[in-house]
Chains A and B, each alone.
Chain A
Amino acid sequence: MSASYTETQLDALRELANIASGTAATSLSQMLGHQVDMNVPMATAVPLAGAVELIGDPADVVTAIILTVTGDITAVVVLLVHPTGVKTLSTLLGVESGTEVGDSALGEIGNIIGASYLNAISTMTGLALAPSTPTLISDLLGAIVESTLAATVAEEENVLIVDSQLQLPGESCEITFMLLPQQNGASNLLAPLGLAIGEV
């Protein structure tokens, strides 16, 4: 049993992600007092074997801010920031990176981005979504992403990854933003749009 996604469904997820990351970018911009740009989001269903490389270099050391989502769907939201990005964000927030205050401020960024992203999805789909408090870790990108996948979607043959990138123009700071809906999560996201997932 495995979920398969049509191009129309993936398009719909991309569009959801597009609007939601736009909202998240606006919130982040207000918080930082700095312009925030975003790219066109990606929504892909891929075999587990290539999933990590799709997100980034597994050997990179990154900081991850992780929120679990419960409510009408189960999902995990992961924000990945490289060390230079963490420094930039910390400077803009007026905190020192690597300290308790710095970590707390980064967690707050996760909260703001995650909450505005999920609120936008809630508004569009009518689903009730509740994010957890953020968990912050720094480690190999590969270890973070694979453990997140293992805990959420790895039982599926293909994993659905919805991924956006937020950038601060003029600064070297890129935030990779990942939504990993579990199988029922993806169906429930699509159902209100009239695009429920069939089983193959």
Chain B
Amino acid sequence: MGEMVVSTTPGAELVAIGLGSCIGLVLTDLRLGIAGLAHIVLPDSMGKPGPVAKFANLAVPALIEKLLAAGAERRHLQAVLIGGAQMFITGSTMEIGVRNTLAVRDALGGAGIPIFSEDVGGSSGRTARVVIGRDVSSQAVGGPRLSLLSPGQPARPSRGAVGGRLTSARDLAGDYTATALTCAAALLLCGSIRL
């Protein structure tokens, strides 16, 4: 939780096991085979101290910097979001997953990084797995492993509004993520209404 790692080693695995309301944010430059994973816990640091990867508003710029330092090219960076679930029905917990998702999208939008695909929302925990140069996937308990990004899939950057990004992500990512994207769209709708 609140950790961040970048790798350039082909075939190396970056894993975040058991993401609940947290977000596993993957940023990757597929061309160069560089990827990073941040385990984001809360939407906004609001000036509090702590590891930067803990808060969406700090984690996104920090992960971008770390990838650039490892040699990635900013214009080729693409994002995948995994997690942001609502694990419990009671209390304020329910809000955190949604708020995390929206905060990460916002920060990515602000940095001009396109979202390639997402597996967010719902009420199940997920494990995020990045195999450098090969694949980004998400898996819930008892569920199939969803491939969310791989070099075979055509990359097409889109930098519009949040809604625009989701539409293009649907084109790109295919049937597997359609369900996830529906959830994401629903989340987005909730978010828009609240905002």
Is A137 located at the chain interface by the 8 A CB criterion? Answer: yes
Residue with the greatest number of chain A CB neighbours at <10 A, chosen from B18, B51, B141 = B18
Is B3 located at the chain interface by the 8 A CB criterion? Answer: yes
Chain A residues near B157 (CB-CB < 8 A):
none
Other-chain contact of A154, B1, B3, B49, B127 (Cβ < 8 Å): B1
Interface size for chain B: under 10, 10 to 19, 20 to 34, or 35 or more residues?
Answer: 20 to 34
A143-B96 in contact (CB<8A): no
Number of A residues with CB within 8 Å of any CB on chain B: 32
Stretch of A4-12, A48-56, A164-172 lying at the B interface: A48-56
- Shortest distance in angstroms between A81's beta carbon and chain B's nearest beta carbon? 15
A151-B50 in contact (CB<8A): no
Given contacts A140-B17, A146-B22, A150-B42, contact A157 B50 (CB under 8 A): yes
Stretch of B59-67, B84-92, B175-183 lying at the A interface: B84-92
Q: For residue B45, which residue of chain A has the nearest CB?
A: A155
Residue with the greatest number of chain B CB neighbours at <10 A, chosen from A51, A137, A143 = A143
Q: How far, in angstroms, from A146 to B91 measured CA to CA in the complex?
A: 15
Q: Which of A119-152 contact B (CB under 8 A)?
A: 132, 135, 137-151
Given contacts A49-B3, A155-B48, contact A142 B19 (CB under 8 A): yes
Q: Apart from A137-B87, A147-B97, list 8 A-B contacts with CB within 8 A.
A: A48-B50, A58-B17, A135-B88, A139-B141, A141-B18, A147-B22, A150-B96, A154-B42
Q: List 11 A-B contacts (CB under 8 A).
A: A48-B2, A139-B141, A142-B17, A142-B20, A143-B125, A144-B87, A147-B21, A150-B1, A150-B42, A150-B96, A151-B92
Interface residues of B (CB under 8 A from A): 1-3, 17-22, 41-42, 48-51, 54, 85, 87-93, 96-97, 124-127, 141
Interface residues of A (CB under 8 A from B): 1-2, 47-49, 51-52, 58-59, 61, 66, 68, 132, 135, 137-151, 154-155, 157
